[in-house]
Structure 1
């Protein structure tokens, strides 16, 4: 679906401990296609952990060779560790420029939603021109 959400047997699964850009944010489509490329033709397994505040299933997801999808997305610089949920287990995997490149996700993690709102307002005004 996007850089931090997949579907397994009709169940939408939010990857544990990471945050990727939304599809309409910078690098959002790149994150989605990186996820598609990782999973395509693979049998992905999920270790379900919880249901989040939005009703989504949260799971640690693994490729057949044992690679953690959350870790793989962070290593590619297309997702950020979200310490509030991960305890910081993916932080050391972040690329040096990841927080700068994925600035909207970084802002969300820090509770700076006015940055999101400002971005959305700019997008709406550009779309209406």
Structure 2
């Protein structure tokens, strides 16, 4: 009886849990929100909004803010955004791979443009080539020196606890 009921569910209704499409609002360099649902971009790690990076000319800049602004501009160029949801994270956010209306993958673009790094722990190296290209061009965070976002978060948490 249960199996028969499953057969009557339209295929697109079964997929709706695994996909969300709409106008994306940028939360930070690797998190967006669509229709009230927070989506962490799978396999990439962007600098935190408070994080500073060296620019290669003896200066520093808010690389996390820059990554978020760049992501917003990239998404605005071709709406809506579609995300294929892979799982939920420990903060109960959806984790997914997202695409603009023109088919460009958002996660890959973040790494290609130097606004995020390939987080191999999760991506299994999917964006390794994109990162190598961004690094060789000195794109985004690769134009100077920076602390990996995951390390910056850990250091920031230690400082917060020591106060």
TM-score, structure 2 as length reference: 0.64
Instruction: From the two aligned structures, give the one with the greater strand fraction.
Output: 2
**1:19 counterpart = 2:69:** no
**1:86 counterpart = 2:112:** no
C-alpha separation between the residues in 2 aligned to 1:12 and 1:47?
13
Unpaired runs of 5+ residues, structure 1, are: none
Shift >4 Å, 4+ stretches: 97-100
Partner secondary structure for residue 78 of structure 1: coil
**1:69 counterpart = 2:95:** no
What is the root-mean-square deviation of aligned Cα atoms in Å?
A: 2.3
The structure 2 residue matched to 1:10, chosen from 15, 36, 56, is: 36
The structure 1 residue matched to 2:74, chosen from 22, 34, 38, is: 38
| Deviation per residue, 1:34-70 (Å, 9 max, x gap) | 1110112610001010001221110100011111111
Unpaired runs of 5+ residues, structure 2, are: 1-26, 53-62
Equivalence for 2:21: none
